[in-house]
Structures are given as structure tokens and as C-alpha cells.
Structure 1
């Protein structure tokens, strides 16, 4: 099985029991990092620490370019083979961006299709706008990711339970 799994901190244990994870991107606040998934080899996992904020603020870690590049580096190693787990505290913003970034890397030029497909499966997402811009620049996507993500409406409900699976290869029928 190949795909991307999006979940939140509260559902991490259940997700790990239900899905054969082979790669992972864990995102949290610097004060509250998610657990290191040590059952995966170090080259198959990363933990990123930044706050879910759109602009730098004193005492807070805003997303930076090196965070976007770390996601892209892991996605390049993964290359769509196996199951990539992406999780953060709520599974709505930071991890949603990482899902969109992974799909943009795997399917350049199909950013709009990717956003629409993920939003259909996960209508609760509200990707971090700062990280979208940084990722678009790192990808050299010429605003395609920014423009596609700009069309995501504010969700009616930001809470979800469990996980979503984005199967690969990407199909946007």
C-alpha cells in the first residue's frame, strides 16, 4: 500500500495500530513535540517544531523555509513508496500543509487537483498560510500551491477523529 495518512495527536496510537506506517513527519510546538517514532529508521522520520502561526511573533517559532525544505527532503526519500504518516496536534493546519506539500512534490502542476482531493477527504483542514508560501517558493511552484490553497474555505468544523488516507498514485476523477 502507498499513501499518505493524516491524523491528530489524540488519534496517533490508534492510527499506528490500524495502518502499516513506513515513514513519518511529526509536527508540534517547540514546548510540546510529538513523540519520536523510534520504530522507524532515522532516515524515514522527521520531527519539526514550530507554532501554528501565520506571522512571526515574539516568543513563538513561526514556520521557516528550513521546515518546508525538511518536508521536501523526506518526501524525496519516500518518493510515494509505502505509507507516510503526517501528524500534528489537531491534524488541521501544520500537518495539512505537509500533506499538500508532499503531493505537490510528487505531482508538480497538479496542485489544484491535490488540494481539491484532500479537501474532499478532509473538509476540516485549514493549512497554515505562511507554510504554504514557504513551500511554494521551495518547490518553485510559481504560486500554484498558494493559489490552490487560497480556495480552501474556512471549515464549518475543525475537529475530526481518526485519520484520513490519501491513496497513491493520486487520482482526481
Structure 2
């Protein structure tokens, strides 16, 4: 079963090692510094500089753009799925869950958007996928509004309760497979 591990920045190294990840997508603010874990292949690390905003923005803020989401899709389609894909942002709540949904649909496009969003909610109570990233991904993946509607239906996640990495199965699995902390192997 392929899966995507979603983590906040402080847990990236731990989750990369624990889950034996070799590939990673980083969605961080411009000029935000962090160290790529040594287990991540530098050639398979996608670094995207964007802020966690859901509007076009002005000034110093960089809103998610079509090019950012196109890069997530292309990277996901190049993922060999032999090991989990690690996706992170600062808190693991907004940008990275949105990118995880898009990556899952990029590699398994025949799945149901609502079921995917429900799997996300089952593994993360606090995930609130970035609406702009979701909308751009919906359009680029030709989901015809289904992904946007599915994310709207699961609603805003619970208030932030600290670093809570999770593991999102790419394709449907039995409900009992979602039990546990979700971030382990």
C-alpha cells in the first residue's frame, strides 16, 4: 500500500527516518530555512516557496500559484511508490495536507474525491487543506469541482493541538488500517 506521510517541520527528520522515506516535498515560506534529512535523496526533494494563504496576496506574501501545484503533480507522478512520500509544511495542517490530496489524485486518479477527503479526516482531525491549493489542484487534475466540494464537506479541522504527523493511504483501505498514530510504518 502506498502512502503519503504528512509532517510539520519539527518532525520532518523523525518521520523521514521512521517511515524510510526517500522522497520529499517541502512547502515552506520564502527564506524559511531547514535541513533536508540525510535519508532524502537530494534529486528527489521538491522545495516550493509559498506562504499559507488562500488569496492572491500582495507585498511580501507568496500565494500558491498554478506553477507550484503543477510541480506537486509532476513530482508525485515521478514518485516510484516503493517507499512513502513525505510532504511537509511548517505546521502540517494546511499546505501539506492539500498537497497530499493532490499527490494522491495525481497517482491514483480513479479514486473518489469524497472518499479521499474522508480518509484525510480519519487520519488527521486538525488538517485544514489550503483552499487555494485545493482549487488549483482540482482544476489542473480536471476534477470538475469534486475535490473542492469534498474538502468543503469535511470542513475546517480541529484547533491546532501541536505537532501531529499522519499517514494518508493513497488508495482506499479498510477502516481498521487507519487506526493508530498513522505516522509509523
Asked whether the two chains share a fold, i.e. TM above 0.5, the reply is: yes
Farther-moved stretch of structure 1 (36-45 vs 8-17): 36-45
1:143 to partner: Cα distance: 0.9
The answer as to whether partners of 2:9 and 2:89 remain within 8 angstroms in 1 is yes
Partner of 1:57: 57
Number of aligned residues: 173
Please list the CA deviations of residues 92-116 of structure 1 after superposition, one character each: whole Å capped at 9, or x if unmatched: 0000101110122233241111110
Give the gaps of 5 or more residues in structure 1. Answer: none
1:168 to partner: Cα distance: 4.7
1:118 to 117, 120, 132: 120
**Structure-2 change in CA distance of 1:45 and 1:100 (3 Å):** same
The answer as to whether partners of 1:80 and 1:106 remain within 8 angstroms in 2 is no
**Aligned ranges 1:62-81 → 2 under 5 Å:** 62-78=63-79, 80-81=81-82
The runs of at least 4 aligned residues of structure 1 exceeding 6 Å deviation read none
The answer as to whether partners of 2:104 and 2:170 remain within 8 angstroms in 1 is no
1:151 alignment partner, SS class: helix
**Structure-2 change in CA distance of 1:37 and 1:74 (3 Å):** farther
Farther-moved stretch of structure 1 (32-41 vs 152-161): 32-41
Please list the CA deviations of residues 39-94 of structure 1 after superposition, one character each: whole Å capped at 9, or x if unmatched: 43344220101001111222210000001000000111015332100000000000
Q: Aligned partners of 1:101, 1:14: CA distance in 2, in Å?
A: 24
1:38 to partner: Cα distance: 5.8
Q: Aligned partners of 2:174, 2:44: CA distance in 1, in Å?
A: 27
TM-align CA RMSD: 1.9
